[in-house]
Amino acid sequence: MERKRARSGEIRLTEVAKLAGVSPITASRFFRNPQALSPSKRERVASAAKELGYVPNLAARALASQRTEVIGVLIPSLTNNVFSDVLRGIYDASEGSRYSIQLANTRYSILQEEKLLRLFQAQKPAGLIVTGIDQTAESRSVMETMHCPIAQIMEIGPDPVDMMVGFSHYDAAFAAVSHLLAQGFRRIGFLGAQMDPRVQRRLQGYRDAMKAASLFDPRTIVTTPVPTTVTLGGTLFADLLSRTPDVEAVICVNDDLALGVLFECQRRHISVPEDMAIAGFNDLEFMAAAVPSLTSVRTNRYEMGRLAVSMVTAAIDGNRPPNPVVDLGFELMVRQSSSARSL
């Protein structure tokens, strides 16, 4: 009666089955698809499990069934408020499903992303959510070998790996710049930090909108690869002013920069919007509370996360959404900081 191996000491399904007077496989079915049991057995298994305090062993389940109920999520930053909204949507949606989330941080590096995708491979996730559309070729090929539904989020573009939920950063920036132009501003600066691909596309939107108005001037673009902070917004704005003192408005790639510009204006006694209009991007909550309130581009980040999870889970269950690419759009929130030039 030698026992070769130390048992975990936890209650196993077999023990629940024995107490309930059913076979292990019936008990197993109870936990996965209770409707398959007759009401009497269902009852018996339920009470046996409760009595013994049974907790299923997920590793054994995953090994036997060859699948997991994990959705892997790759995002570039944990600090950026933008992603915390997306994450909230993702976690909220996952709680309503039987899936759990495995989160990893790429730190804005597509090589790190590639490495993390390989790590995910070992977990055999049931689905995957990745940020952006600029994966390496290697990443793409790893994703393809994973044979699971994949949603790319934050932006939309051609050639989805599988599904996409996002919006056009180009269009959003174009719209914001067009608004400033419509308000009568001619010399419009552009401030950018953390120049990830989405920010690059916003810059392109700015560029094209300015060119369309024959007002493009490369000297009014100030960017840095450094991560965004409010303080940095002030610094970049100072740079911009020293280069082109005649700017009348600035569009910032995010709201932190915009707030930094507002503070810098206050410090220099530049009145907003009379002497300087400001527009941000993302519409964080503080934009409406600022004095003056700050114009921004609102995007539905929470919904983006929520929808990504629900599209992925639907696809896992075989209900692939008819349209794999969802454009969630954006909304320009016009506020005091960009009100019309009164000449």
Partner DNA sequence: CGCCCAAAAGGTAGCGCTACCATTTTTTTG
Partner DNA sequence: CAAAAAAATGGTAGCGCTACCTTTTGGGCG
The residue ranges that bind DNA (CB under 7 A) are 3-8, 10, 12-14, 21-26, 28-29, 31-32, 36-38, 40-41, 54, 56-57, 60-61, 63-66
Pick the binder of a second copy from 28, 68, 300, 338 (CB under 8 A).
68
Site for a second copy (CB under 8 A): how many residues?
49
32 binds a second copy (CB under 8 A): no
**339 makes contact with a second copy (CB under 8 A):** no
Query: What is d(CA 235, CA 222) in angstroms, rounded to the nearest whole number?
Result: 10
Choose the stretch contacting a second copy; rule: CB under 8 A; options: 80-88, 167-175, 187-195, 218-226. Answer: 80-88
**Binding at 321: pick from a second copy, DNA, none (beta carbon under 5-8 Å per type):** none
Of 195, 238, 270, 288, the one binding a second copy (CB under 8 A) is 288
The two three-digit tokens of residue 120, written as one number: 């995910």
Q: Looking at this protein, which amino acid is placed at residue 267?
A: R
Question: CA of 341: how far to CAs of 174, 176, 190, 248, 272, in Å?
Answer: 20, 16, 19, 9, 11
Gap between the Cα atoms of 325 and 237, Å rounded: 37
342 contact, one of DNA, a second copy, none, CB 5-8 Å limit per kind: none
88 binds a second copy (CB under 8 A): yes
Instruction: State yes or no: residue 46 binds a second copy (CB under 8 A).
Output: no
Q: Which of 33, 40, 66, 342 binds a second copy (CB under 8 A)?
A: 66
Q: Which two tokens stand for residue 301?
A: 């980040």
Q: Which of 18, 24, 97, 121 is in the footprint of a second copy by CB under 8 A?
A: 121
With CB under 8 A as the contact rule, which of the stretches 126-134, 186-194, 288-296, 313-321 interacts with a second copy?
288-296
Q: Which two tokens stand for residue 76?
A: 């570039």
224 binds a second copy (CB under 8 A): no
- Cα-based distances in Å from 36 to 22, 39, 48: 14, 9, 18
Q: Which among 173-181, 238-246, 256-264, 323-331 is the span making contact with a second copy, rule CB under 8 A?
A: 256-264
- What lies within 8 Å, CB to CB, of 258 at 6+ separation is 233, 250, 252, 278, 279, 280, 281, 287, 294, 296, 337
Closer residue to a second copy in complex, CB, 149/233 = 233
- Binding of a second copy at residue 52 (CB under 8 A)? no
What are the respective helix, strand and coil percentages of the chain, to the nearest 5? 50, 15, 35
Please state the φ and ψ torsions of residue 269, each to the nearest 5 degrees: 55, 40
Nearer to DNA, 295 or 313 (CB): 313
State the helix-helix crossing angle for 13-20 and 39-52, rounded to 10 degrees: 130
Nearest to 207 by CA among 241, 237, 251, 166: 251
Tell me the closest approach of the beta carbon of residue 89 to a second copy, in angstroms. Answer: 9
